[in-house]
Chain A
Amino acid sequence: MNTDRVGYSGLFVVALYGMISSFLMPLGQLREPGPGFLPLCLSTILVILAGVGVISSRPSQEDLARTEPFWGNMKSPVKIVVTTGLAIWAFEPVGFLVTSVCFLGLLFRWVSDYPWWKAVLLGVCIGGAGWFFFAKLLGVSMPGGFLGW
Chain B
Amino acid sequence: MIESFIGMGQGFLIAFTPQNLYYCFLGCLFGTVVGVLPGVGPLAGISLLLPATFGMPPVSALIMLCGIYYGAMYGGSTTSILMNIPGEAASVVTCIDGYQMARKGRAGAALFIAAWGSFLGGNISVLGIALLAPVLADFAVKFGPAEMFAVMVMAMMLVGYVGSGSVLKTMCMVMLGLFLGTIGMDTMTGYLRMTYGIKELADGIGFIPVAMGLFGIAEILSSTQDTLVRDVLKPKLRELLPNRDELRRSWGPIGRGSVMGFFIGLLPGAAHIIAGFSSYALEKKLATHPEEFGTGRIEGVAGPETANNSATGGAMIPFLSLGIPSGPATAVMMVALLIHGIKPGPLLIQENPEVFWGVVASMYIGNVVLLILNLPLVGLFVNLLRIPFKLLFPIILTICIIGVYSIDASTMELWIMLISGLVGFVLRRFRFDVAPLVLALIIGPMMELAFRQSLMMSGGSFAVFFGSPISLVLLSVSALLVLTGLARPLLAGRRPKTNP
Asked if A and B are interacting partners, one says yes
- A interface with B by C-beta (< 8 Å): 3-4, 6-8, 10-11, 14-15, 18, 21, 25-26, 29, 31-36, 38-39, 42-43, 45-46, 49-50, 52-53, 56-58, 60-61, 70-74, 76-77, 80-81, 84-85, 87-88, 91-92, 96, 100, 103-104, 107-108, 111-114, 122, 126-127, 130, 134, 138-142
Which residues in B have their C-beta under 8 angstroms from that of A60? 431, 499
CB distance from A22 to the nearest CB of B (A): 9
Q: Once the chains bind, are A104 and B398 in contact (CB under 8 Å)?
A: yes
Q: Looking at the complex, which one of B48, B188, B391, B414 makes contact with A112 (CB distance below 8 Å)?
A: B391
Q: A88-B401, A107-B397 are in contact. Are A112 and B411 (CB under 8 A)?
A: no
Most buried by B among A8, A84, A112: A84
Residue of B whose beta carbon sits closest to that of A73? B225
Q: In the A-B complex, list the 9 residue pairs whose CB atoms are closest, starting with the nearest.
A: A31-B460, A7-B430, A112-B390, A76-B224, A60-B499, A107-B394, A35-B191, A46-B175, A35-B186
23 contacts between A and B (CB under 8 A): A7-B427, A11-B172, A15-B175, A26-B189, A26-B191, A32-B452, A32-B455, A39-B193, A60-B499, A72-B226, A73-B226, A74-B225, A76-B224, A77-B221, A80-B220, A88-B414, A91-B401, A108-B394, A112-B390, A112-B393, A130-B402, A134-B402, A138-B48
With A46-B175, A84-B397 given, can you name 13 additional A-B contacts, CB distance below 8 Å? Answer: A15-B176, A33-B452, A35-B191, A38-B182, A58-B497, A72-B225, A76-B225, A84-B401, A84-B418, A91-B411, A100-B401, A134-B402, A142-B405
Interface residues of B in 404-422 (CB under 8 A from A): 405-406, 409, 411, 414-415, 418, 421-422
Q: Once the chains bind, are A71 and B429 in contact (CB under 8 Å)?
A: yes
Which residues in B have their C-beta under 8 angstroms from that of A50? 172
Q: Once the chains bind, are A77 and B425 in contact (CB under 8 Å)?
A: yes
Q: Once the chains bind, are B390 and A113 in contact (CB under 8 Å)?
A: yes
Bound complex: CA A47 to CA B186 (Å):
23
Q: Once the chains bind, are B221 and A80 in contact (CB under 8 Å)?
A: yes
Contact with A along B381-396 (1 / 0, CB 8 A): 0000000001101110
Which residues in A have their C-beta under 8 angstroms from that of B169? 53
Which residues in B have their C-beta under 8 angstroms from that of A127? 398
Q: Once the chains bind, are A140 and B44 in contact (CB under 8 Å)?
A: yes
Q: Looking at the complex, which one of B193, B391, B394 makes contact with A103 (CB distance below 8 Å)?
A: B394
- B interface with A by C-beta (< 8 Å): 40, 44, 48, 168-169, 171-172, 175-176, 178-179, 182, 186, 188-189, 191, 193-194, 220-222, 224-226, 228, 390-391, 393-395, 397-399, 401-402, 405-406, 409, 411, 414-415, 418, 421-422, 425, 427, 429-432, 448, 451-452, 455-456, 459-461, 497, 499
CB distance from B83 to the nearest CB of A (A): 15
Which residues in A have their C-beta under 8 angstroms from that of B448? 38
Which residues in A have their C-beta under 8 angstroms from that of B499? 4, 57-58, 60-61
Residue of A whose beta carbon sits closest to that of B388? A112
Bound complex: CA A26 to CA B186 (Å):
12
Q: A33-B452, A60-B499 are in contact. Are A88 and B415 (CB under 8 A)?
A: yes
Bound complex: CA A113 to CA B388 (Å):
13
CB distance from A92 to the nearest CB of B (A): 6
Q: Once the chains bind, are B171 and A49 in contact (CB under 8 Å)?
A: yes
